[in-house]
Structure formats: C-alpha cells, structure tokens
Amino acid sequence: MPTRINKGLEDSSTKNKIFSIKIVVPLLIAAFLLFYNFNQKKELSEYKETQALFGSYVTIHCLYDEREDILGVVEEGWRRLKEIQISMNALSVGGYVARINKSGYDGVQVSDDVYRLLKRSLEFSDLTRGAFDITVFPLVELWKNAARSRQFPDETAVTNVKKKVGYQNLKLKNDNIVSFKVSGMKIDLGAIAKGYAVDEVVKIFTKNKIKNFYIDAGGDIYCGGKYKKKKKWTVGVQDPRNKTKIIDVLRIEDAAVTTSGNYERFISLNGKKYSHIIDPVTGYPQDGVISSTVIAPTAEKADALSTALSVMGGKKGIKLINSLSHVEAMIIEDKGGKLKKYRSKGYKKLKK
C-alpha cells in the first residue's frame, strides 16, 4: 500500500511539474521579450549633435526615453551656449567682457550671472594663489603679438605689461558695477567660460529631467548619469605627446572632466612651442606641465583648476587638489623629454 500511495504521489507530482513547466517557460519567455523590448526601446533614442562654438567644437549627446520630447530642451541648451559665447568673449564687440575691457576706472554694469562668474573667478585666484587670474589678458595679448611678429618679447616689455595684471585690482562694486584700479587692465574668461557654459546646459537638462547625457565643449566635458546598460560614461585622457594614445580611461558619473594642455593650442616662437597658459606672476608662458586633467562636480571648477594646475606644476598642484574635497587630478610634466605623472589621492578609484 505505502508503495502504491507513494507511486501515486510521484505520478501526480511529475504531472504537476510538466504542467507547471508548460506554463512557466512560455511565461518567462514572454516576460523576457517584454523586458528586452522595453530596454531596447529605451536604448534606441539617442540625440547627438556637434556645433562650432567657443573657437572649438561642442558636442551634446543625450540618451532618452523616446516618449520624452527632448528637442525643445536641447535647443534651449544650444541657445544658452551661443548667448554665453557672445557675452563672455573678450573679442566680441558688445559683449559684457568687451565692455568691461573698455570701461577703465568708471566701470560698467553687468548682468547678475556675469557678476557672479567674476566673483567666483576671483575666488579661484585666491584658492590658487594667483595661478588662475582672469586679468592676465594684457600678457596673453603680448605673447600672441610676439608669435604673430615672430619676435621674442624683451624683459622690459614683459615687466611693463605685468603691471597691468593682478586680480586684486579688479573691483566688483555694488549694483553689479565692475571696474579696474589700474589703467590698461583687461580681463579674459577663456580659462573658465567654457566650463561655465557647460554647467549652464547641465542646469537646463536637470531642470527638464534629462539625466543621461554628455557635453563636450572642446575638452571641457560633463557626464550626466549613465551611458547605455547602466554603465558609467568613460572619458579617455589623451597622451599629450600622441593624441591617438590614451593614458587613462576614467569612469565618470555626474561630474566634469577638463584637460588643459599645450598640445592643442600653443604659441609658436623661434621654432619652439610655448603654452597659451601664462604664469601671471612671472609674465612668461608656463613651462613644464604638458597636460593637466581635473575631475570636479562642476565643469567650471574643473576648467579653472586645470588652467591653474598648469601654472602651479605637479607637486604644488596635487597638494592643492588633495586639500579639496570631491576634486581629483592628474598632472603630466615634461622632465627632459620624459613624462612624469602626478595623480591625486582619489584619482585611481576613477580608473577603469
């Protein structure tokens, strides 16, 4: 009896198993297909466009659910970039920076956002002990003219122009009035404006709930959210000597990466390449650092600090970065033809 009962029980359980497999397997397949289709749809919608802006190229790359209407938002982003390009370019007549540079002692009234950016620029000068200085423009012009006329500037010329440089002499007064304390002073936001512009687009995207995107304004990069399949965006740090080679691959999420280097923009004099980044203290182009990469929560911070690190050099630069939270960096120096890399404490964790 017990055997039969057992047998009977066995039979019915096997039947149940077959029955349940018959139902469960198709159900699983259906669920998988549904999930697969859903994911496929999510991955399919991609927006990518490149435009010539800021004397370079800007790329916006967004991943979005196809039910979202992102084109209007992206258009708003491009509009904002163009607006900033005019307002912050020292050479664009009618823009705020050009007006400040013409104003002299009396000063000129600027918009709230320009005023705030100037204030933050002065804070970066304090933080970097003058390595970052937006009043460096007279020296930038001196070196650009020297390259144009192929004449190395003599020491007196550098000393004289240097008198017009100094962030302490840029005055930010009440009612958004900006003025200079020394005649002939000029500002240049070239080392921070692209970063600021990228952050402005990030703000527009965040307000409109676009989470997964990538913006590259000629080396000033911001990676929002994730790339496909929940992977982080990857950013390759180029070998300053060989653009086709990548030194490090970084995994970035909701952060900015900027590289300043003299391999793309430089001054050529007497057959030698000089950096387009000037040391405001010596008055001469910075020498030694061939690339500096900064990872920071905002593109503005990454932009300003990467320029400053080129002036500060590997040792001092990394010391500063290690004293700041949520900021990492790699500085590459040319030591008699050999590359020396300096990395901040937390930099390794970002490497793939």
Residues forming contacts to Mg ion in the complex (CB under 5 A) are 191, 303, 307
Q: Rounded to the nearest whole angstrom, what is the least distance from the CB of residue 88 to Mg ion in the complex?
A: 13
Site string for ligand ADP, 302-331 (x = CB under 6 A): -x---x---x--------------------
Residues in the chain, how many? 352
Considering only residues 100, 136, 170, 318, which one is a binding residue for ligand ADP as defined by CB under 6 A?
136
Compare residues 85 and 307 and give the one whose CB is closer to Mg ion: 307
Exposed/middle/buried for residue 129 (C-beta within 10 Å: 0-12, 13-18, 19+): middle
Sheet holding 220-224, edge to edge: 46-53, 56-63, 212-217, 220-224, 255-261, 289-296, 328-335, 338-343
Exposed/middle/buried for residue 306 (C-beta within 10 Å: 0-12, 13-18, 19+): buried
CA atoms within 13 A on the CB side of 297: 4
97 touching ligand ADP, by CB under 6 A? no
d(CA 227, CA 63): 8
Considering only residues 164, 186, 276, 343, which one is a binding residue for ligand ADP as defined by CB under 6 A?
276
Considering only residues 42, 265, 316, 341, which one is a binding residue for ligand ADP as defined by CB under 6 A?
265
Greatest alpha-carbon pair distance for the chain in Å reads 115
Sole window of 15-23, 163-171, 271-279, 315-323 interacting with ligand ADP (rule: CB under 6 A): 271-279
Compare residues 74 and 188 and give the one whose CB is closer to ligand ADP: 188
d(CA 71, CA 54): 22
63 phi-psi bin (left φ>0, alpha ψ -120 to 50, beta other): beta
Sole window of 17-25, 162-170, 206-214, 270-278 interacting with ligand ADP (rule: CB under 6 A): 270-278
d(CA 9, CA 14): 9
Q: Which does 280 bind (CB under 5 to 8 A by kind): ligand ADP, Mg ion, none?
A: ligand ADP
Q: Which does 255 bind (CB under 5 to 8 A by kind): Mg ion, ligand ADP, none?
A: none
Compare residues 132 and 233 and give the one whose CB is closer to ligand ADP: 132
219 touching ligand ADP, by CB under 6 A? yes
Q: Which does 129 bind (CB under 5 to 8 A by kind): ligand ADP, Mg ion, none?
A: none
Counts for the chain of helices (H) and strands (E), in that order = 9, 16
Q: Rounded to the nearest whole angstrom, what is the least distance from the CB of residue 260 to ligand ADP in the complex?
A: 4
87 touching ligand ADP, by CB under 6 A? no
Compare residues 61 and 276 and give the one whose CB is closer to ligand ADP: 276
Structure tokens at 316: 């001092």
Compare residues 110 and 136 and give the one whose CB is closer to ligand ADP: 136
SS3 68: coil
Compare residues 128 and 307 and give the one whose CB is closer to Mg ion: 307
Q: How far is CA 198 from CA 58, 78, 122, 138, 194, in A?
A: 9, 10, 20, 26, 6
Site string for ligand ADP, 172-201 (x = CB under 6 A): ----------------x-xx----------
Q: How far is CA 31 from CA 16, 23, 39, 41, 352, in A?
A: 22, 12, 12, 15, 33
46 to 85, contacts with ligand ADP by CB under 6 A?
none
d(CA 16, CA 79): 65
Which residues contact ligand ADP (rule: CB under 6 A)?
132-134, 136, 140, 188, 190-191, 219, 260, 265, 276-278, 280, 303, 307, 311
